[in-house]
Amino acid sequence: MNILLIEDDAVLADGLMHTLSGSGYVVTVATTGSYAQQLLTAQDFDLIVLDLGLPDMDGLELLRKIRQRKLPLPIMILTARDSVNDRITGIQQGADDYMSKPFELKELEARIHALIRRCYGGFNDVIVLGKLTLEPRNHRLSVEGQPLALSAREYGVLEILLLQAGKVVSKDRIAQRLAADDDALTDNAVEIYIHRLRKRLESYGVLIRTVRGLGYLLEASADV
């Protein structure tokens, strides 16, 4: 799950990034509205946390712009405690939930989990496909009860495919997930990891189909 955190308060952004990364989310921070817009054009995110008080732009204006682009992702807004009107306007303009500052990081984390559960279902649950079982919240992957050891990147790619099992996941999306780890990426990194995963998963009753021009799709294979 990729979260875009739009927050100019460095201490708060740092604390949130730490807390959410620890829960298995991939967090990208934007400290200005204009950088957030650039990121939204270049990458896919699953959820946005948006502070309404940004240095270069009114957060509500940014919220309007995001919703105008019909991005279907949930948005949590952060507001100052006394700005009731901002909260109401925010919800009217398409925010899914809000938190008033100051708040406990743990509470925001819990609300984000709830929002993700509401919008995506599976992330907090156990996903079973073929002989594979994934527990996304604690990064546990197993085959018939035995842990399956994968590299961090292999796991990252398989996690995206499993969370979207039966749906096509674009190559760009997978490349972004790979890029979230630090090392440099080669041009055909996605193909390499898909190839590796195919070999690893061969005997586990799941297969990765290539959908030409669109991406990859994970599904249960018939011959288990």
Binding site for Ca ion (CB under 5 A): 8, 51, 53
Helix (H) or strand (E) holding 97: strand 97-101
Closest CB to Ca ion belongs to which residue?
53
| Least distance CB 9 / Ca ion (angstroms) | 5
Closer Cβ to Ca ion, 80 or 211, answer by number: 80
In this complex, which beta carbon is closest to Ca ion, that of residue 15 or of residue 53?
53
Residue 55 Cβ vs Ca ion, minimum distance, rounded to whole Å: 7
DSSP helix/strand/coil, 8 = coil
User: Which is nearer to Ca ion, 7 or 154 (by Cβ)?
Assistant: 7
Distance in Å, CB of 133 to Ca ion, minimum:
41
Nearer to Ca ion among residue 35 and residue 120 (C-beta): 35
Nearest to 109 by CA among 47, 54, 53, 62: 47
Least distance from Ca ion to the Cβ atom of residue 203, Å: 52
Buried b (16+ CB within 10 A) or exposed e, 183-216: eeeeeebbeebbeebeeebeebbbbbeeeeeebb
**Lookup: tokens for 168:** 């096509």
